[in-house]
Amino acid sequence: MTAAPTTGPDATTEQAALDADGSDPGWRELFVVPPAEGGPYPQAAYLVGNSLGLQPVATRADILADLDSWGRFGVEGFFDGERPWQSYPQRFAASMAGLIGAGPAETVIMNSLTVNLHLMMASFYRPRGERVRIVVEDNTFPSDSYAVRSQARWHGLDPDDAVVRLRPRPGEHHLRTDDVVDLLRREGPTVALVLLGAVNYHSGQLMDIPAITRATREAGAVSGWDLAHAAGNIPLQLHDWDVDFAVWCMYKYLNSGPGAPGGAFVHERHVDDPAMPRLEGWWGTDAAVRFRMDAIPQPPPTADAWQVSTPSALGLSPMRAALDLFETVGMTTLRERSIRLTGYLERVLDDIAASRPLTVITPRDPQQRGCQLSVRIDQGDAGEVARRLRHEHGVITDFREPDIVRAAPVPLYSTYHDCWRFADALTRLLP
């Protein structure tokens, strides 16, 4: 066996891409790849795994097995059979814990991202005195923006004052860590919560999570991270980095299906704190006494205490195949292939940027990004470019206001040839 190459191909020809797929193939055959809507190739070049990850081939059998359990056991399916549904959240939380550098007791699978963000803020955003502000990136995902603004209002504050939006310096595309740290040093006593996307959904920038978390805690504020674009994309060490809480969805890089339940991380130092306020329900009480229906809940000293209601067995079902794949391949191996693939995508885009109106706005340093590159279309309508890429060339990317086409080669199933097709189609579409 030969070792995997350390970089993708230098040459930008189609043959070089095909050769690279021969020597560094990934795990594409384990996924269902959509057909192309246009162009000469049967399969789509699917570059939107940052939006909805592809379906693992094994998922269908898992869902059918859960339907069979429902048919055979009825409600007893929660407890009976080879895969009792009651065990699902903890089982998948244990796998997820490995991917984010957390302990199983710090990880819970439940609800969906924005709901979990609200549940976390119910516990961790407690404005007092002058310490009331929430710091977010200016280009934060809209749902996160709505969530923090509504939390400010919920506490009787004016969201325009309470929410601080971090902007890059004029003419720059990314936040500088030093600028974030300086702001926290200067204005620390007014900040209650810093809530940033670990990988920004728009620019693709990977933030310096340990440095910003440290500065946040030194400022006396709570450190929350949105891992929507980081979980399953980059290696994380949430426990060691001393993050207070995090939330994520399972349907992007984690391939658990459209609208799959999400996740939350609560640092160990908070899970056993009896003074911690929470919004509670029966699934947040210890499983051993859950059915006693006591009037007073008995939350376990784990992140499970934040679970509110009955988990969706069918919603959780795809996590089995999806997370088994991550465990088999390993995040380190995936990240190495990811750096090779995205580096190659950057080279083919640079190659055409010399003669076509486009600019890659994602950081150039592989340590400051995940697999996504955000391409600014400098002339013409980026939305129209994304539509034509899909319908005429079978290349699926997505458009983000005002002029960005996002492309994310996912190391589990994307290929060098997918990247080449994207660049080749762009040369045909752009003036």
**Whole-angstrom distance, CA of residue 352 vs CA of residue 344:** 13
H or E segment at 56? Answer: strand 55-56
Of residues 113 and 423, the one with the C-beta less far from ligand PLP:
113
Q: Give the full edge-to-edge strand order of the sheet including 398-400.
A: 358-360, 373-377, 404-407, 398-400
**Whole-angstrom distance, CA of residue 236 vs CA of residue 41:** 36
Count residues contacting ligand PLP (CB under 6 A)?
A: 13
Q: Which of 21, 24, 137, 226 binds ligand PLP (CB under 6 A)?
A: 226
Cβ neighbors of 73 (< 8 A, separation 6 or more) are 80, 81
Would you count residue 121 as binding ligand PLP (CB under 6 A)? no
The residue with tokens 């439940």 is: 110
**Whole-angstrom distance, CA of residue 299 vs CA of residue 280:** 9
Chain mean position to CA 238? 14
**Whole-angstrom distance, CA of residue 32 vs CA of residue 257:** 12
Of residues 39 and 261, the one with the C-beta less far from ligand PLP:
261
Of residues 143 and 368, the one with the C-beta less far from ligand PLP:
143
User: Which residues 77-116 are close enough to bind ligand PLP by CB under 6 A?
Assistant: 112-114
Coil, strand or helix at 48: strand
Would you count residue 144 as binding ligand PLP (CB under 6 A)? yes
Nearest to 397 by CA among 374, 364, 417: 374
Of residues 53 and 299, the one with the C-beta less far from ligand PLP:
53
Would you count residue 241 as binding ligand PLP (CB under 6 A)? no
Of residues 114 and 338, the one with the C-beta less far from ligand PLP:
114
Would you count residue 422 as binding ligand PLP (CB under 6 A)? no
Would you count residue 398 as binding ligand PLP (CB under 6 A)? no
Would you count residue 137 as binding ligand PLP (CB under 6 A)? no
Q: Which stretch binds ligand PLP (CB under 6 A): 141-149, 267-275, 358-366, 375-383?
A: 141-149
Peptide bond into 402 cis (omega under 30): yes
Q: Which of 31, 88, 125, 141 binds ligand PLP (CB under 6 A)?
A: 141
Q: Which stretch binds ligand PLP (CB under 6 A): 19-27, 53-61, 77-85, 221-229?
A: 221-229
Would you count residue 228 as binding ligand PLP (CB under 6 A)? yes
> What's the CA dihedral at 416, 419, 420, 426 to 10 degrees?
180
Would you count residue 151 as binding ligand PLP (CB under 6 A)? no
Going by their DSSP bridges, the two strands 133-137 and 163-166 should be labelled as parallel
**Least distance from ligand PLP to the Cβ atom of residue 357, Å:** 27
Of residues 11 and 166, the one with the C-beta less far from ligand PLP:
166
H or E segment at 160? Answer: helix 159-162
**Whole-angstrom distance, CA of residue 416 vs CA of residue 420:** 6
**Least distance from ligand PLP to the Cβ atom of residue 403, Å:** 19
Beta bridge partners of 199: 206
**Least distance from ligand PLP to the Cβ atom of residue 195, Å:** 10
Q: Which of 92, 201, 413, 422 binds ligand PLP (CB under 6 A)?
A: 201
**Least distance from ligand PLP to the Cβ atom of residue 68, Å:** 29
Of residues 398 and 424, the one with the C-beta less far from ligand PLP:
398
**Least distance from ligand PLP to the Cβ atom of residue 250, Å:** 9
Within 10 A of 240 (CB to CB), how many other CB atoms are there? 10
**Whole-angstrom distance, CA of residue 326 vs CA of residue 184:** 36
Q: Which stretch binds ligand PLP (CB under 6 A): 101-109, 225-233, 287-295, 377-385?
A: 225-233
**Whole-angstrom distance, CA of residue 386 vs CA of residue 375:** 11
**Least distance from ligand PLP to the Cβ atom of residue 185, Å:** 26
Footprint of ligand PLP on this chain (CB under 6 A)?
Answer: 112-114, 141, 143-144, 197, 201, 226, 228-229, 249, 262
